[in-house]
Amino acid sequence: MQTSVTDQYEATLSFENQFADNLPGDQDRNNTRRQVSGACYSFVDPTPVSAPVLVAYSKEAAAELGLSEENCRAPWFTDMFSGNLILGDMKPYAMCYGGHQFGTWAGQLGDGRAINLGEVVNGDNQRWTLQLKGAGPTPYSRSADGLAVLRSSLREFICSEAMHHLGIPTTRALSLILTGDRVLRDMFYDGHPELEPGAVVCRTSPSFIRFGNFEILSARQEYDLLEQLLHFTVTNDFPEIDASGGVDSYLQWFTEVSRRTASMIAHWMRVGFVHGVMNSDNMSVLGLTIDYGPYGWLEGYDPTWTPNTTDAQGRRYCYGNQPYMAQWNLMQLANAIFPVVKDEKRLQEALDSYRVTFQEEWQQTLRAKLGLHTLEKHDDKMISSLLELFTKTETDMTIFFRSLANLKVAEKDGDKLLKFVEDAFYTPEEISQDHLENLKNWLHLYRLRLLRNDLGDEERRRRMNQINPKYVFRNYLAQQAIDKVEEGDYSEVEELLDLFRKPYDEQPERHHYAAKRPEWARNRPGCSMLSCSS
């Protein structure tokens, strides 16, 4: 007897719907753009696509769900995760949330192009919510079409998995699927829209609840529902907290959210990642990196750099501002839950845990990036002077720290010390003699500091290479992969997925992926700054 698609699916995945079953939903089942009140979500089905084709899937994300390579290559997988196959135990929905965008309250936002299929519990009793991004309009799409294009989808797919392997808290990505349809987009909002290949990414996370889920309920004074969502979130996503404690539970929860957020930001800063659009609706209560839009990686070190064209003037979400913006967003979350907690002093104490955690982790991170095993009172000054030197000439932060690990403490000659890090400079021929002398002086002081560090060269190098990646997902690498997929060649996606499985390893056969941004990519669209268009 031939096995049906339904049988194949049911033997592989079983969906649950804790969020939809335990929280109130929108009573209007019509998929029309509107304000949705008194509800945490709206039921909505993905829009079918014409000719879905699997570009790639993540073996690691699939394994978390108990999916084999055979499963992922099966036709039902492509149909399901493009939105063409919805079966009985799924209850697809889009979340209702609000948020502050670039510092201004934007009101209702919601999942405008994301649809949750439901939740899968794996063999280790871990719960994963599966969400399709780019699967069509929802009641929260406003004037948009709810679709996504290849360029943004590929960037999110690969970066989600790269961040995971870098050790950075993040949502995950299961699959990247071309829809066979064309989507009209104005990439730079300059009045020149073009048809681009459509795509759908399946994202996975224990939960997709954001700061904005609480903000919208508080703004609408739906305080009973606000407390219901708080209780649900603590119960389902923070099992270490006793949800029966009422206000005490919620304060413990907010403290934990603050700490997780601080740790996530410290990791971003460690590898030079810039999110680009840190609106409060793009902040996960689990402390996970979420919503990979116009992100980027520092290449020439510049604390004021933002990858987002929309942020080019104000630079609110530039690299150096990220710690402050995370704290600002946490303040908005604190304001949102205040009507339930009603204890300003204890909320402030909980919020203070963000600052304490970030400062501790960031200082520890900077010392670790320099291979400092011991602590001395002048370390902070030495570190800050190095970061200041970075700003004087275009210096690739990733390459500098990776190269610095090779420095030999026995070397006393300044010119030879410079040789260890010279590959990090974009225009070495333009560096002034004064700056070269300052670099030599810093390297000499650093060498003397290492002599007091109680670590041999090889052990220090090993430790530094565990925290300073050799490979990061530079924008030009993403654009090269996008170009190839548009030509029908998916091999570069697979190559990048494999590369980023071990971003701290040397992988000498792939050394070219660790190169500085090439000059042709300096101003090419998609390789420098990006818009929110997708």
Query: Looking at residue 181, what DSSP letter applies?
Result: E
pLDDT tens column, 191-243: 778 999 999 999 999 999 999 999 999 999 999 999 999 999 999 999 999 98
Q: Is 278 helix (H, G, I), strand (E, B) or coil?
A: coil
How far is 119 from 13, CA to CA, in rounded Å?
A: 10
Residue 385 burial by CB count (10 A; 0-12/13-18/19+): exposed, middle or buried? middle
- What residues are paired with 181 via a beta bridge? none
- Cβ atoms of 291 and 247 within 8 Å: the answer is no
Confirm if 207 and 89 have CB atoms less than 8 A apart.
no
CB-based burial label for 344 (10 Å; 0-12, 13-18, 19+): exposed
Could you tell me where the DSSP H helices lie in 291-412? 322-341, 344-369, 379-390, 397-404
Say if residue 100 is exposed, middle or buried (CB neighbours under 10 Å; 0-12, 13-18, 19+): buried
For 367, residues 6+ apart whose C-beta sits below 8 A from its C-beta are: 375, 379, 383
The residues annotated with a catalytic role in the active site are 281
Token duo for residue 295:
């992100």
DSSP annotation of 514:
G
List the pLDDT tens digit at each of the 534 positions of the chain. Answer: 344 555 566 557 889 999 999 999 999 999 999 999 999 999 999 999 999 999 999 999 999 999 999 999 999 999 999 999 998 899 999 999 999 999 999 999 999 999 999 999 998 899 999 999 999 999 999 988 999 999 999 999 999 999 999 999 999 999 999 999 999 988 766 777 899 999 999 999 999 999 999 999 999 999 999 999 999 999 999 999 998 889 999 999 999 999 999 999 999 999 999 999 999 999 999 999 999 999 999 989 999 999 999 998 999 999 999 999 999 999 999 999 999 999 999 999 999 999 999 999 999 999 999 999 888 999 999 999 999 999 999 999 999 999 999 999 999 999 999 999 999 999 999 999 999 999 999 999 999 999 999 899 999 999 999 999 999 999 999 999 999 999 999 999 999 999 999 999 999 999 999 999 998 888 887 777 676 654
d(CA 423, CA 194): 39
Q: Identify whether the C-beta of residue 309 lies closer than 8 Å to the C-beta of residue 529.
A: yes
Query: What separation in angstroms does the CA of 20 have from each of 93, 357, 360?
Result: 8, 34, 39
For the chain, the domains span 5-209, 379-454, 477-513
CB atoms within 10 A of CB 131: 24
pLDDT confidence of residue 1: 34
Look at residues 201, 289, 229, 172 and name the one whose alpha carbon lies nearest to residue 41.
229
> What is the signed CA dihedral for 102, 211, 152, 50, rounded to 10 degrees?
-130
pLDDT of residue 10: 54
